[in-house]
Structure 1
Amino acid sequence: MPSKSPAQILLEKADKKANSSGGWFSSATAKYEEAGDLYQQAANSFKLEKLFKEAGDCFAREAECRENCKETNEAANAWWNAAKAYKRGFPNLAIQALTHTIIHLTKSGRFRQAADREKEIGQIHIQEAQDIRKACESFERAGDWYAQEDATATANACYKDAADLHAEIDEFPQAIARYEQVADHSLTSALTKYSVKEYWLKAGLCALAMNDPVSARRSMQKYCTQDATFPSTREAKFVNALIDAVQAGDPEAFTGAVVEFDQITKLDNWKTNILLKVKRGIQDEPGLT
């Protein structure tokens, strides 16, 4: 019979303690506190053995013991430790554990930390679960919580990520609204003002991807009144050249504008994908005059 590992021995001790009926003099709270400590030790021991699912399970059991003792902060921490273990190959369990963490954090008014964990959920949805819509929701919720806590730059980064993802799944009106929200906020500070042209460029591309050059042009005019330096930027000239090409139904002019812009500012994957959508729109509808 194979000998038990230190982690398994600790786990058995923890289970025994958690399931024991307290004696005459011991309180239920003391029982769960001791069991929680043992589960935590077992979890760390499983981590040493690189058994991450077992480690996550033990942290989750620890969290439940902490909940039984009404130790909210300790419970939140244990669920987060469970999530970190589950992240090694068990994304759905990691999301569940983070969700438990967030419930405890929001109850105790720790919205900044809740936002950090919600952002982690968004990242897992993208990397592991490939669920872009759910990632959008997580980034937007995190952004709202950061904004509440006056962590504006972090909130805007979350809203920008959400906007990028909305556009990837063709939710262009939502993407435009988020880009404009972040741009409006960035205009209020000399430190962030330089990034506005990038948000407006993306919003303009989203309007063109909706095959709506008229509202794209109207938006560009609005942006130019919001920031007098915008019309002279390469971004503004680029979007206006694309609008002209789309309205003329001229794929060659469109490609020319893209190549010219790309020679100085390399287009990233996001822009390339949106531009391909716009170009397909021109080719599908000849003679948009």
Structure 2
Amino acid sequence: MSPKSPAQTLLEKADKKANSSSGWFSSSSTKFEEAGDLYQQAANSFKLEKLFREAGDAFAKEAECREKCNETNDAANAWWNAAKAYKRGFPDLAIQALSQTVVHLTQAGRFRQAADREKEIAQIYLQEQHDLRRACESFERAGDWYAQEDATATANACFKDAADLHAELEEYQIAVARYDQVASHSLGSALTKYSVKDYWLKALLCVLASSDYVSARRNLERYRLLDTTFPSTREAKFVTALLEALEQGDEEAFTSVVFEYDQVTKLDNWKTAILVKIKRGIQQAPGLT
């Protein structure tokens, strides 16, 4: 029989302490404080052994002990440590641990930190589980919390990510509203104004994807009034050329416009995907003239 690892020995000691009855001269709170310390030591020892599931479980047990002592800050930190361990291959458990962290942080009014953890949840949903809907919800929740803490740039980044996902889910009106929201916040700063043309390009592509060419022209005009330099940008000229091809039902012209734009400004995966959807609109509704 192989000897127990230091981590396993600490874990058993922690379990024994947590499950013991309180003595005459010690309180239940003291018992759970000591057990929590032992679980934390066990978790760190498991991390040294690269046993991340076991480390996460031990941090989760630490968190539960901290909760029983009403040590909410320590409980939030323990849940976060559990999440960081679970991220090494156990995304479901990482989300659960981060969600517990968020509960403690919001109850303590620490919304900036809660937003950080909610953003982590969104990224796990997106990158590990490919759950666009839940990722979108978490990005928006994080964005709201950042915004109320005056972290405007970080809030806008979350809302932009949410807008991208709304578009992928073909919820184009919601996506446009989010892009417009982020663009309007970015217009007021010299540092962020450069990014507005890309937000408006994405918003306009969403309108084209919904085959609403009248609204596309109306939005082009609205953006011109907000920023008189916009019509001269490559983005505005690109959308205008696409719109003309769509109104003519000219698939060949549409493809040519996309190709020429891509030669100078490489299209990313998001724009490529939505342009494919827009092109389908030509085949389904072949022209307005």
Aligned-residue sequence identity (percent) comes to 76
State the one-letter code of the partner of 2:206: C
Q: How far off its partner does 1:283 sit?
A: 1.6
State the one-letter code of the partner of 1:160: K
User: Which residue in 1 is equivalent to 2:142?
Assistant: 142
1:60-115 per-residue CA deviation (whole Å, 9 max, x = no partner) reads 00000000111111000000000001111111110000000000001111100000
User: Which residue in 2 is equivalent to 1:241?
Assistant: 241
User: Which residue in 1 is equivalent to 2:3?
Assistant: 3
Distance in 2 between the 1:194 and 1:5 partners? Answer: 56
User: Which residue in 2 is equivalent to 1:112?
Assistant: 112
State the one-letter code of the partner of 1:186: S
Q: How far off its partner does 1:284 sit?
A: 2.2
Q: How far off its partner does 1:224 sit?
A: 0.6
State the one-letter code of the partner of 1:106: T
Q: Which segment drifts farther, 142-151 or 163-172?
A: 163-172
Count of equivalent residues? 289
Distance in 1 between the 2:122 and 2:140 partners? Answer: 9
1:184-214 per-residue CA deviation (whole Å, 9 max, x = no partner) reads 1111111111111000000000001111111
User: Which residue in 1 is equivalent to 2:181?
Assistant: 181
RMSD: 0.8
1:230-250 per-residue CA deviation (whole Å, 9 max, x = no partner) reads 011110011111111111111
Aligned runs of 1:42-121 on 2, under 5 Å?
42-121=42-121
User: Which residue in 1 is equivalent to 2:258?
Assistant: 258
In structure 2, the gaps of 5 or more residues are none
User: Which residue in 1 is equivalent to 2:34?
Assistant: 34
State the one-letter code of the partner of 2:117: R
Please tell me whether the aligned partners of residues 172 and 207 of structure 2 are also in contact (alpha carbons under 8 angstroms). yes
Distance in 1 between the 2:249 and 2:180 partners? Answer: 27
Aligned runs of 1:212-231 on 2, under 5 Å?
212-231=212-231
Please tell me whether the aligned partners of residues 246 and 287 of structure 2 are also in contact (alpha carbons under 8 angstroms). no
Question: TM-score, structure 2 length as denominator?
Answer: 0.99
Give SS of 2:128's match. helix
Distance in 1 between the 2:85 and 2:63 partners? Answer: 14
Give SS of 1:70's match. coil
Distance in 2 between the 1:189 and 1:40 partners? Answer: 45
Distance in 1 between the 2:41 and 2:216 partners? Answer: 59
List structure 1 runs of 4+ shifted beyond 3 angstroms. Answer: none
User: Which residue in 1 is equivalent to 2:171?
Assistant: 171
State the one-letter code of the partner of 2:48: L
Q: Which segment drifts farther, 252-261 or 224-233?
A: 252-261
Give SS of 1:50's match. coil
Question: TM-score, structure 1 length as denominator?
Answer: 0.99
State the one-letter code of the partner of 1:255: T
User: Which residue in 1 is equivalent to 2:194?
Assistant: 194
Q: Which segment drifts farther, 143-152 or 209-218?
A: 209-218
Distance in 1 between the 2:86 and 2:74 partners? Answer: 18
Give SS of 1:189's match. coil
Q: How far off its partner does 1:255 sit?
A: 1.1
Give SS of 2:12's match. helix
